[in-house]
Amino acid sequence: MNSLKKSLDKAVSRRFKMLKITNALRLVNGAGDHLAGLQIDRYHRHIHIQMLDGRWHQHIDEIVFFLTSAMPVDYLIVKTRKGLDVQGKTLVGRDPETIVEEHGLKFKVNLDEGLNCGLFLDMRRNRWMVGQSCQGQRVLNCFAYTCAFGVHARAGGAADVINTDISRKVLQRGMLNYGQNGFTFADGEFVKADSVFYLTRAFKKGIGFDVIILDPPSFARHGGQVFQVKRDLPGSIAKAAAVLNSGGSLFLSTNYSEISYEDLERMLARNLNGRRVKHIQRVGQDDDFTGSNSFKESFLVGLWVKFF
C-alpha cells in the first residue's frame, strides 16, 4: 500500500464509528490527518474535496479511485480555493443536492454552492448539545445560516424559535430543513435582518430569550455595512446578554483563528453588563476534525455559558 493510500485509509477508517450518528462527516482534515492542504467531506453518498495546496492536483485520480472503491459515491466535486475565489470541477455524477442526517435529523445540502454546502459539519456536536437544552425554552438563533441550530432546538422541544439572518436565500433553505423534519413554523420564526440589529430591537421592545446562539461569520459585508468578528463580537455579546432571561444560556463561538479561548472568555467577561455567570464550558469542533485548532484551516473556539 503506497503512502497516500495508507494515509487516506487510516483517516477514513478512524471515522467509521461516527456513522452511527451521522452520514455527513469530514473524512480527511488536512494536517490533522498528515495530509496538509487536503480536505475531504462526505455528505451521504456525495463527496466534496477541497484542495488548499496545488500539489494535490497531481494525485486527484488516485484520491478519487480510493474514495469510489471505499464507499458508494453518487457525486464528487473537487474545489480549489485561492483567497475568496473558488473553482469547482465535478468528476462523478450530475446532481449536487442530497439529504444528510445527524442525530436523526435531516438537512439538505448542495455541493455546488461555493465552500459552504448548507451544513457546517464541525458544529455537529454543538448543535446537539444546545438542542438538548431547549425543552420549553424561547430560543434566538442569530446568524442562523440554514437554521441547523433552529432545527435541533425544535427537535429538543423548544417553546419558540426565532432564526435571524441577513440572507433571505439561506433562511429559505432553513424552511426546507424544517420541512425535511416535519416541523411547521410560526409567523416570525424566520426573520430576514441583521442579527445585531435584531438584538438591539429586541432589547428596545423588552423581548427576552432563554437560549441565544451567537455564532457570527469572521467577516461579512452587506448593504455597505461590514461585520468584522474581532471588532464587532464584543458589542454583539453585550446586546445578547441584555436580552437573555434570568437563568438563560448563551452559545458563543467563532472560527476566527486569531481569537483563542482565553480571548473569548475575556471578551465575554467584559460585556456582560452585570450578568453573573453560573458555568462556562469550552466547546469546539467534533471528533472528525482531527488536529482541531492546531492549524487555521480547522479552527473553532466556543463557550456554552449558563447564567444565574
Q: What digits encode the pLDDT tens for the residues 3-15?
A: 999 999 999 999 9
Whether this model's pTM surpasses 0.85: yes
User: Could you give the 3-state DSSP secondary structure of residue 160?
Assistant: strand
Q: Output the pLDDT for position 84.
A: 67
Domain boundaries, the chain: 3-110, 121-307
Q: What is the pLDDT of residues 201-217, one digit of tens each?
A: 999 999 999 999 999 99
Chain segment 151-161, per-residue pLDDT in tens: 999 999 999 99
Q: What pLDDT is recorded for position 300?
A: 98
Reported CATH class of domain 121-307: alpha beta
pLDDT at 286 over 80: yes
CB atoms closer than 10 angstroms to residue 66:
18
Q: Helix (H, G, I), strand (E, B), or coil: what is residue 60?
A: helix
Enumerate the β-bridge partners of residue 26: 41
Asked if pLDDT for residue 1 goes beyond 60, the answer is no
Task: Note the pLDDT of residue 38.
Answer: 97
Mean pLDDT of 254-268: 97
CATH architecture of 3-110: 2-Layer Sandwich (3.30)
- Mean pLDDT, rounded, of the chain: 95
Other CB atoms within 10 Å distance of the CB of residue 224: 5
Tell me which DSSP letter residue 295 carries. B
